[in-house]
Structure 1
Amino acid sequence: MDKAQTDRTLWRDNGVPVSERFDDPYYSLDNGLAETRHVFLDGNDLPARFRPGFHIAELGFGTGLNLIAARLAWMASGTPGRLRFTSFEAFPMPPEDALRALSAFPDAANLAGDTAEMLADPQKPLIRDDIEMHLITGDARKTLPAWKDQADAWFLDGFSPAKNPELWGADLMAEVARHTAPGGSFATYTAAGDVRRALVAAGFDVTRVPGYGRKRHMSTGRKR
């Protein structure tokens, strides 16, 4: 991988990783795994909606914590077959940084190695008994329109819209909708008005709901 495409990781005193490029933490300062479960799993009504072949797509792979939370939920649900998971990431985190970040979460210990393996070779799908994972690198404004699949649920997890506006624009939100199966959903930690309006215009019924930790609100929605 071209080193220019990676993002340098800085570390807060509490061990939370921060993107140098976007000057934004990769996850909540309170508890990243609890945040993921509240925002992306509960926000998409998961695992209740799981079924064989269920497909999650994500904008912003980061440390891989969302993938791990989804895998843990899938395995605990007893749904047969593999969870399908596709993530779009422009600046993959170095695998050693992902391992350092994930070491803060004991629940992630058994799956962290798989995440690091994927980051070490993003072109190679991660296929296990429970998961079929594809990491698509590059600018999502180019890679998502070219994607040939649809997701049942979206995790919209780019850095803050104020610091990473490219991942929240109206055109990209329209592509998210176009690549969402009928009745599919999204969840995101942000309740920014511009993002919510773009998702409504793209074809989602959008709801503002309580956020996690210090964030008062977040957004969820279903495709109309």
Structure 2
Amino acid sequence: MSQPDTPRPDPLLPADAPEWRDGDVPVSPRFDDPYYSLENGLAETRHTFHAGNDLPARLVDGFHVAELGFGTGLNLLATLALWRAEGIPGTLRFTTFEAFPLAAEDMLRAQAAFPELSDIAAELAPFWQQNARAFSLPDLQFTMVVGDARQTLAAWDQQADAWFLDGFSPAKNPELWGADLMAEVARHTAPGGSAATYTAAGHVRRALAEAGFEVTRQPGHGRKRHMTVANMPLARTP
């Protein structure tokens, strides 16, 4: 396990302390929205982000997942668990963009709601407790880019194979779903890459399509009737 760099102050203040509902479901007072599904956050991650991006079938050494909205870190834990369960050799790359990182104690409390991920949660806990924003394990290269994604993504010099678009709902957090940002997601997607999100909002689907993705509406998780899957063609139209 690598050692994180010496903690440095983040350019933005941490998120407001979450409110806790139904036991241990964190809700953002800033956006009045839960950090994950009230029904089953892990099942939603698997349905929306894993199946939506055709994982694990596409996982190979160096596969790069990028995410808008780190939240509690549930998507990272679930994806690393999937990687290990499938026995994928090599390293998973995971980059997440987050404006308001949760405090370590809140992240760990939220993650404790998913006992099947407890081993991985415990393995990564020291990094959150040291305010690490980048670290490496033998099978994981993790980076958190802190700041407003409307600025930080434009400055990013890499491309992702799969995107998890997991900001708070478009109605409550419209800044993370605008057409300009969806265009940046497309620009930072490798040919043949993909994106998936729990929302089926028409303006989000249109923005992804206008940015060059082939967009489909698919059955959503739980009570969500639909979700969005977007695939980037291998050869982009000029």
- Is 2:76 the partner of 1:37? no
Query: After TM superposition, what 4+ stretches of structure 1 lie above 3 angstroms from structure 2?
Result: 113-124
Letter paired with 2:31:
F
> Deviation at 1:115?
4.3
Match for residue 195 of structure 1?
Answer: 204
Q: 1:164 aligns with which of 159, 162, 173?
A: 173
> Deviation at 1:220?
0.3
Question: Aligned partners of 1:168, 1:202: CA distance in 2, in Å?
Answer: 13
> Deviation at 1:90?
0.2
- Aligned residue for 1:4, secondary structure, equals coil
- Is 2:150 the partner of 1:130? no
How many residues matched?
224
Match for residue 97 of structure 2?
Answer: 88
Over the aligned positions, Cα root-mean-square deviation in angstroms equals 1.4
Q: TM-score, normalised by structure 2?
A: 0.90
- Taking a change above 3 Å as real, the CA distance of residues 154 and 122 of structure 1, as seen in their structure-2 partners, is farther
- 1:1-224 equivalence runs, <5 A: 1=9, 4-121=13-130, 124-224=133-233
Q: Larger Cα Rg: Structure 1 or Structure 2? A: 2
CA distances 1:69-106 after superposition (whole Å, capped 9, x unpaired)? 11011111111111000000000011101111111111
Q: TM-score, normalised by structure 1?
A: 0.96
> Deviation at 1:52?
1.0
User: Can you give the 5+ residue segments of structure 1 that lack an aligned partner in the other structure?
Assistant: none
User: Can you give the 5+ residue segments of structure 2 that lack an aligned partner in the other structure?
Assistant: 1-8, 234-238
Q: Is the 8 A contact 2:213 2:231 kept in 1?
A: yes
- Aligned residue for 1:42, secondary structure, equals helix
Q: Is the 8 A contact 2:14 2:102 kept in 1?
A: no
Letter paired with 2:141:
E
Give me the identity figure in percent: 64
Question: Aligned partners of 2:56, 2:161: CA distance in 1, in Å?
Answer: 12
Question: Aligned partners of 2:99, 2:123: CA distance in 1, in Å?
Answer: 20
Letter paired with 2:28:
S
> Deviation at 1:61?
0.2
Match for residue 4 of structure 2?
Answer: none
